[in-house]
Amino acid sequence: MALGLETAQAEYKLNLMQGVTKLSHDVYDLHMLILWVCVVIGILVFGAMFYSIYYHRKSKGHQAAQFHENTTVEIIWTIIPTLILVAMAIPATKTLLEMDDVQDSDMSIKVTGWQWKWEYDYLDNGIHFFSSLDEASNKARQIGSGIDPRSVPHYLLNVDHPLVIPTKKKIRFVFTAADVLHSWWVPDFGWKKDANPGFINEAWTYIEKPGTFRGQCTELCGKDHGFMPIVVIAMDQPDYDAWVKKTKEEAQKGPSLENQSHDELVSKGAAIYSKNCSTCHLPDGKGVPGAFPAIGGSAVVKGDINAQANLIINGKGGMPAFGKMLKADELAQVITYTRNALGNTVGDEIQPKAVQEMLPKTSAAAAKPAVVAEKAAPVADMSKDELLALGQTVYTSNCVSCHQAEGQGNPPMFPALKGSAVVTGDINKQIDLMLNGKGMMPGFGHSLKAADFAAVVTFTRNALGNSVNDLVQPSTIQKLQAEMPAANDDDED
Amino acid sequence: MSAAVAEHDDHHDDHEHHDHGPEKGLLRWIITTNHKDIGTLYLFFALAMFFVGGTMAMVIRAELFEPGLQFVQPQFFNSMTTMHALVMVFGAVMPGFVGLANWMVPMMIGAPDMALPRMNNMSFWMLVAGILLLSTTLFMEGGAPAGGWTLYPPLVLQTGKALPFAIFSVHLLGISSIMGAINIIATIFNMRAPGMTLMKMPLFVWTWLITAFLLIAVMPVFAGAVTMLLTDKFFDTSFFDAAGGGDPVLYQHIFWFFGHPEVYIMILPTFGVASTIIPVFARKPLFGYSSMVYATASIAFLSFIVWAHHMFTVGMPIAGELYFMYATMLIAIPTGVKVFNWTATMWKGAMTFETPMLFSIAFVVLFTIGGFTGLMMSIAPSDFQYHDTYFIVAHFHYVLVPSSIFILMAAGYYWLPKWTGHMYNEKIGQLHFWLSTISVNILFFPQHFLGLAGMPRRIPDYAVQFADWNMISSIGGFIFGASQLLFLYIVIDTIKGGTGEKVTNEVWEDAHKHGLEWTLPSPPPYHTFTTPPTVIPTEHV
Amino acid sequence: MSEENKQKNSKLVTKLVVVVLAMFGFGYALVPLYDVLCDITGLNGKIEGVAVQEQSYVVDKSREVTVEFMTSLNESAPMVFRAEMNKIKVHPGEYYTVNFYAENKTDKVMVAQAIPSISPGLAAQYFKKTECFCFTEQTFKPREGRTMPVRFVIDPKMPQEYKLITLAYTFFDNTERSLKK
């Protein structure tokens, strides 16, 4: 990031920038040529018009002529523009052909547009990262942030991870998108190219001298379209090689328990938030009232940081236990992020080490043997009343946040359980749905114990206004759970 | 058909529909089938929507006044840009010209009314319903559409509850426009006075005839495109969804197959009004009448084969890019012919500069500037830089605001005395003109600089190097917006009696040479040309 | 209005309504037309989703073309997806098989569709696939991972200027869509 800060702001320009590539110079020349053609035609036409307006007015006693056609003149002013256009088309065609020639490139970078960030894959050396708006701009851009954009270096044109490329190499970019249309534009390169989901596009550049070049997304892609800039840093080959080496080494290090700066925690937390939290709490942290609490202004998030960390690690109600899914540094990042973004400005942070200590000893890898151990010990059958009583507590802590206390649900997102076709229908189907989840409904097969699971199934069928009058024993559930694939989180690919 | 028979038939017709004059009270306006009443309804509706869309523009310019977000959230900002465009295009500019057509086409061709009066009434109220429905989306969960007026998928499919309503409102607006277009074609083809041959028609009628054909050719295509969006969202089709074998780029092709002619739907009647006004105030026949007709027709034809120049960056094969570049450059030729003809019409005239003429001259100059930037954009490699920046915003506002809107104003000043029988206040009219012309340039000219310097369009906030010109542009916007209240005042004032000066039938010196409408009393009676006129003005031919 | 005029009007209106309906149909006709256009011009690198019959070509050993493989997941589809190699140098006319690996990371059955795209688009028509997982929807059992081959050949008729071809696949999670059906 520090690389991008030589000047606080770009210089102000009136005309198209010339850019730093041959292509951008060609485009600039075309632009100037056609501009001057327009200026000259404009002077002639407007000149004649204003001459006429000045001299051929009634107040000056000018008598109106009555001519209304002149074939010669009309032919002349059809032919001359045609010739000018042909003259323009020749250099334009040449430039277009040159831009189109992506063959013989020295390296390829895949660029993927996301709402609202860019993903870069170096196809030749495996380097891969996301690049989003830098934290300083992101803070300042919020309504009522109280931060003067002029005090932010490269406001809205700075990113957390710039794209780094070598100079004097023909670099081919391959564009695609993961959600909606985007368009990748660095004016200094002389072109922009759309990124379309499902399809690829190509373009290329060749940069002579090192430098930092900034651009933005130019295809409307939703609310934060204005906030996904592009920063490209061109380095001479040795510097670039050093960058590659450093970046690869960093990537190979596992989860780091080293302390990270506040800004780093926040900016990395944003990606983790959007990957893990935004489906329920929404990308802007506003949540879904009645179902998923808002992050912005939340008492939990603004309260004690350790209590928040505890909740995220161990889950509560509909909130899954993320201690099993995320690593210590990722948890620290996302916690710090929620406290300092999405409308919150608590200003504090938590370090990976602190989170590591709070994590349950049986995290990730240890989780599997635990399930196996439970499998060995058979569970005892329970009476219907026992099941109902236990089911009530299990329901309260796992289901009410979505399906509500009386089972009335929160349509259309969360169906009512009272009178539900699933709950009053085939018990095996209900069990299957609850084990594996469906749509927004999480799978509870791994998170509930067999007894709890059986109890809550029985409870829903015989309470909350339902009276199917059947039950399921924990032993049945235990068997089904044993058949389920293990819940591991081998996310790396 | 002899004149006597026609007269008899027309009277017969009068007894069938409407007896002697308009109905009394509010009901008159709801059930009217009179072309003048419906024209008035369209014009007032367009004026109202001009202020609604304008208010949205003010929100946009207020947010862009300074860097940083001050007033609205990005999502709402996007709704504003989307709704501003839809309201201005479908609610203000298009109905404005339909209103003019309703009032003037029958009077210009010597017809007693539009050919299909009941359909005329229906198409107006369908327009109102469509725009009202569109407006309600502002209050729906998830907000109004915010994916841009082009409604590109997949983004537009992320719209909340509003999506089906917005699409249905587009259907209504489309049907309304199509009915209006059919009516205009039928009127021009079947209702012309004896002796009013096609090549004697005023250019306004010609341009509207061609526009009407564009409308019936492309509005159905747009309706199809949005229907595909609807079924993609709710009925599991995959026209534009790659996951099911579709392609989002296909939508862009279909949209711009509609969208480019749509641009000309808004500008061709503009050409027609300008070609009608300029000769009157130059006291000279229009230069090159037939070349004007042919140029209009060629522009209309070219509009069907250049659509992909709106999407040069989408990733087309090189042959496609070259073809669309060349075809687009060609448009400069007929458009140039028009500008040269207007200039030649002024040349050696005896010009006076009443408000309609001032607005028309401003149109010629400022439209030409918009045309120049259009020519620049036709050069595909340069367009890779201009595309989706404020340079584009500046370009299309130059060909819409100081062109279409200015000409609608010019038409208002030109025909208001005819419509009302009262003269508008020339001093305030000229004040309105100067304020509008100066502020519209302060508003849009700096946007060229912003675009070239690298500011993308449709962003609620921007890097600080763009701050100065945005502030200037916003100031221009506020002055322009406020100046339009003068126009509202003038319209109301003129209807109420204006200067009190009694206007003659021809209002403007020797106007009767330029159009049949000036042979009628001012204001014209409720029914005109129930007997076809016998003398056809032929000066321009 | 005279009867004659009324007749003229209704005739004209009928004609115009036919034009309107035809244009509405034309909008829909643009969909298959576009696909045809894509096949001819390689627009968007969109390619036919059906296998071609294996036929033998004269292998052009003198020429080498690099084929690059790119894998993407749409909207963070919960999968692992990768090609066994980033690129391969091939001779036109010779058949090659390259394996792709895809894995369902959920505990549910997943239906996913891979969408191919080739760049440069004009090279797409010379890139023939006899076998590909992209021809149909792929169903994955919970947590299932599997290796899927793509067998392809480059038509030796491909113009000399193409030296690098990118073959990209994007997996879309179609589970919900196919559940509805």
Q: Does B322 touch chain A (CB under 8 A)?
A: yes
Task: Map tokens 């295509």 to a residue.
Answer: B221
* Burial label, A14 (beta-carbon count in 10 A; 0-12, 13-18, 19+): exposed
Q: Please give the average per-residue pLDDT across A329-347, as a whole number.
A: 87
Angstrom distance (rounded) from CA B63 to CA B471:
10
Average pLDDT over residues A240-257: 81
Please tell me the predicted confidence (pLDDT) of residue B4: 37
Catalytic one of B42, B103, B149, B386 = B149
Whole-number pLDDT of residue A391: 85
CB–CB contact A179 C73 (8 Å)? no
| Packing angle, helices A474-483 and A367-376, rounded to 10 | 140
Give A288's strand partners: A292
Question: Which residues form the domain of A144?
Answer: 107-252
Query: Under a CB-based contact definition with an 8 Å cutoff, are residues C29 and B221 in contact?
Result: no
Q: Count the neighbouring beta carbons within 10 Å of the beta carbon of residue B37.
A: 23
Nearest chain B residue to C40 by CA distance is: B317
DSSP state, A57? B
- Residue B206 falls within a domain, yes or no? yes
For residue B510, report the phi and psi dihedrals to the nearest 5 degrees. 55, 25
What's the pLDDT at A366? Answer: 31
Q: Would you state the pLDDT for residue B418?
A: 94
Asked if residue B327 belongs to a domain, the reply is yes
Domain co-membership, A89 together with A218 = no
What pLDDT was estimated at residue A260? 82
Spatial separation of the C-alpha atoms in residues A94 and A100, rounded to whole Å: 10
What is the value of ipTM here, to two decimals?
A: 0.89
Residues of B in contact with A27 (CB under 8 A): 381-382, 384-385
Q: What distance in Å separates the CA atoms of residue A381 and residue B397, rounded to the nearest whole number?
A: 76
| A92 and A227 share one domain | no
* pLDDT band (50, 70, 90) for residue A288: low
Option in C16, C27, C31 nearest B185 (CB) = C16
The answer as to whether A378 is a domain residue is yes
| pLDDT for residue A28 is more than 60 | yes
Q: What tens digit of pLDDT does each residue of C112-125 get?
A: 999 888 888 888 88
Domain assignment of residue A11, yes or no: no
pLDDT digits (tens, 9 = 90+) for A90-127: 999 999 999 988 888 899 999 999 988 999 999 888 89
Q: In angstroms, rounded to a whole number, what is the distance separating the alpha carbons of residues B341 and B329?
A: 20
Q: How far is CA C58 from CA C89, C91, C156, in A?
A: 17, 10, 8
Integer Cα distance of B238 and B244 in angstroms: 5
Structural domain total, chain A = 4
Scan for tokens 């003659």, then name that residue.
B504
> Using one digit for the tens of pLDDT, what is the confidence trace for C55-97?
888 888 888 999 999 998 887 677 888 888 888 899 999 899 8
Q: What's the rounded mean pLDDT across residues C38-55?
A: 69
Q: Report the pLDDT value the prediction gives residue B539, as an integer from 0 to 100.
A: 64
User: Distance (Å, rounded) from C-alpha B521 to C-alpha B264?
Assistant: 33
- The structural domain count of chain B equals 1
Q: Annotated catalytic residue: which of B36, B457, B512, B514? A: B457
Chain C residues with CB-CB distance to A108 below 8 A: 68, 166
Q: Does B538 touch chain A (CB under 8 A)?
A: no
Between CA A436 and CA A444, with CA A438 as vertex, the angle to 5 degrees is 35
Nearest CA to B366 out of B291, B282, B443, B287 is that of B443
> Are A200 and A283 within one domain?
no
What SS3 class is residue A215?
Answer: strand
Please answer yes or no on whether A437 and C107 come within 8 Å at the CB atom. yes
Find the catalytic residue in B40, B176, B303, B420: B176
For A436, the token pair is 């594996």
Tell me, yes or no, whether B350 lies in a domain: yes
How many other CB atoms sit within 10 Å of the CB of residue A426? 10
**What pLDDT does residue B163 have?**
93
What is the side-by-side strand order in the sheet with C65-73? C87-90, C65-73, C164-173, C110-119, C138-140
Q: What are the structure tokens assigned to B367, written together? A: 């439209």
Q: Find the angle CA(B63)-CA(B64)-CA(B69) to the nearest 5 degrees.
A: 55
Task: Return the H-helix or E-strand segment holding A52.
Answer: helix A22-55
Q: Is residue A14 part of a domain?
A: no
Distance CA B322, CA A83 (A): 18
Is B234 a domain residue?
A: yes
Pair A344, A300: CB distance under 8 Å: no
Is there a single domain that holds both residue A114 and residue A225? Answer: yes
A247 and A111 belong to one structural domain: yes
Chain C residues closer than 8 Å to A172 by CB: 164
Contact criterion met (CB < 8 Å) for C74 and A198: yes
Q: Give the CATH number for residue A386.
A: 1.10.760.10
Q: Are B479 and B435 in contact (CB under 8 A)?
A: yes
- Taking residues A355-373, report their average pLDDT: 47
Cα dihedral B511/B513/B517/B519 (nearest 10): 90
Letter for the amino acid at B499? T
| Phi then psi dihedrals of residue C119, to 5 deg | -130, 140
> Per-residue DSSP letters for A142-159?
STT----GGGSTTTTS-B
Name the active-site residue from B335, B378, B437, B439.
B335
d(CA B184, CA A70): 32
* A1 within domain boundaries: no
In this predicted model, which residue has the larger pLDDT, B186 or C37? B186
Pick the closest to residue B286 from B175, B200, B401, B168 (CA basis).
Answer: B200
Provide the pairing of β-strand A182-186 with C110-119: unpaired
Residue B333 sits at the vertex; the CA angle it makes with B331 and B334, to the nearest 5 degrees, is 80
Structure tokens at A430: 């209900």
B4 touches C: beta carbon within 8 Å? no
- A215 with A273, same domain: the answer is no
User: How is residue A385 written in tokens?
Assistant: 């009343």
CATH number at residue A221: 2.60.40.420
Determine the distance in angstroms separating the CA of C55 from the nearest CA of chain B, rounded to an integer.
27
Helices assigned H by DSSP within C42-153: none
Mind giving me the DSSP string for C52-70? PPP------TT--EEEEEE
Cα–Cα distance measured from residue C100 to residue C108, given in angstroms and rounded to the nearest whole number: 21
Active-site entry in B61, B192, B309, B397: B309
- Active site annotation includes B20: no
Strand pairing of C110-119 and C164-173? antiparallel
pLDDT at A286: 82
Mean pLDDT of A272-287: 75
- SS3 at position C128: strand
pLDDT tier at A315, thresholds 50, 70, 90: low
**The tokens of C90 are what?**
């091939």
Please give the residue range of the domain that contains residue B209: 24-519
Backbone angles phi, psi at B306, to 5 degrees: -125, 10
Looking at residue A12, its pLDDT comes to 65
Half-sphere exposure of B343 (CA within 13 A, CB side): 23
Among A226, A252, A278, the domain boundary falls at: A252
For residue A485, what pLDDT is reported? 66
What CATH number does domain C47-180 carry, 2.60.370.10, 1.10.579.10, 3.60.20.10, 3.40.50.720? 2.60.370.10
Same domain flag for A51 and A92 = yes
> Can you spell out the DSSP letters for A95-136?
HHHHHH---S-SEEEEEEEETTEEEEEETTT--EEEE-B-HH
**Minimum Cα–Cα distance from C143: chain A residue:** A485
- A383 with A311, same domain: the answer is no
Minimal Cα distance from B446: which residue of A?
A14
Q: Of A206, A226, A252, which marks where a domain is finished?
A: A252
Instruction: Give catalytic status of residue B518 as yes or no.
Output: no
Q: What is the pLDDT of residue B8?
A: 40
Give CA–CA dist B254/B251, Å, rounded. 5
In 10 A of CB A71, how many CB atoms?
Answer: 9
Give the pLDDT mean for A36-40.
Answer: 94
- Check CB contact of A275 with chain C, cutoff 8 Å: yes
Best of C8, C43, C126 to disrupt the B interface (most B CBs within 10 Å) is C43
In the predicted structure, residue A420 carries a pLDDT above the cut 90 = no
Give mean pLDDT, residues A469-473: 85
Task: Measure the CA–CA gap between B137 and B142, rounded to whole angstroms.
Answer: 9
In sequence order, the β-bridge partners of residue C112 are C138, C173
The whole-number mean pLDDT for each consecutive block of 10 residues of chain B, a chain of 541 residues, reads 38 45 80 93 96 96 94 93 96 96 94 92 96 93 90 91 94 96 95 91 95 96 95 90 88 94 95 95 92 93 93 89 93 93 93 96 96 95 95 96 96 95 94 97 96 94 93 96 96 90 88 89 90 77 53
Q: Looking at residues A38-50, what average pLDDT do you find? A: 94
Q: Quote the pLDDT of residue A440.
A: 63
- DSSP H helical ranges for B191-317: 203-234, 248-282, 289-302
- The count of other CB atoms within 10 Å of the CB of residue C13 is 19
Q: Taking CB atoms and an 8 Å limit, are B320 and C42 in contact across chains? A: no
Residue B538 lies in a domain: no
Domain with B87 in it: what CATH number? 1.20.210.10
Q: Assess contact for C153 and C75: CB atoms under 8 A.
A: no
Q: What is the pLDDT of residue A362?
A: 36
Pairwise CA distance, residues A272 & A425, whole Å: 39
